[in-house]
Amino acid sequence: MMKGLMKKFLCRGRPMTLVVLAGGRSRRMGQDKALLPVPGGVLLGRTIASLAGFFDEVVVSVSTPPRTSGLEGPVLSSARGARVVIAVDAVRRQGPLRGILTGLRAARNEASFVLAGDMPDVSLAAARSVIRKSDFVDCAVAVGTSGLVEPLFGVYKRTCIPAIEDLLAAGRRSVLDLFAVIRTAEVALGLGLMPPNINTPDEYRAYLKKAARPQGINRLKVLGNGIEQKPAEDLRAEKKGQGRPEGRTGRRRLEDR
């Protein structure tokens, strides 16, 4: 789908911001996850590219100022024309709850879709399902088939800011604590819709293997650090007589799940 034809996600008829959290210390990975090489660029860039075209603004929340210089390139090249802001936590090492607060403060829109920076290839159906349930609540978050809430896959509104500030001031850093003091909708997602986090070297290797494996109806092809969906009709046409397109390797480079 071309950028100009993408229908933006809306909350109550108004534009939304994509907030991507990239402030983690990547302790289990042993290196900065955001800059791990993946097909089409780096992990953070691919995560942003999967949804950026459906928002008019992208805010990347980071923990420290030095991270901004290393992330500017991947962020800008994957934002698909959206306004870009890289926002730095006012207080370090307060976890994802601080990152959400940083993102909401920096966003110009009332509602933001908050996403972990290590969730590439997000299903549009999953994002749409959560956004549709967010109109009349402060927050709507996904629940996977295991029954566990995924706090970093959901809609958060600026109305959450006072409650987050109070929690952090009281030394409570769990995002789960926030749901008890605001209007929250939990949205159950179907099998296969919740994208996995990439936290460990084994998960990273498994993801690279899966990203290169042919499967499914649609294929996503690399365009710089971004991605573009290739419709099923085009794939069927190739099979009928167009042959292998120039530059195609025969391995699926990216996929939409």
| E strand or H helix that includes residue 132 | helix 124-132
Domain residue ranges in the chain: 3-188
CA angle 22–25–31, rounded 5-degree value: 100
Burial 112-123 (b: 16+ CB within 10 A, else e): bbbbbbbbbbbb
pTM attached to this predicted model = 0.79
Q: What is the pLDDT of residue 196?
A: 82
Question: What is 3-188's CATH topology?
Answer: Spore Coat Polysaccharide Biosynthesis Protein SpsA; Chain A (3.90.550)
Q: What is the pLDDT of residue 73?
A: 83
CA dist., res. 165 & res. 14, Å (int): 25
- Sign of the alpha-carbon dihedral angle for 241, 247, 250, 256: negative
DSSP state of 240: I
Q: What is the pLDDT of residue 149?
A: 95
Using 50 as the pLDDT threshold, list the residues of the chain that sit under it.
1-4, 215-257
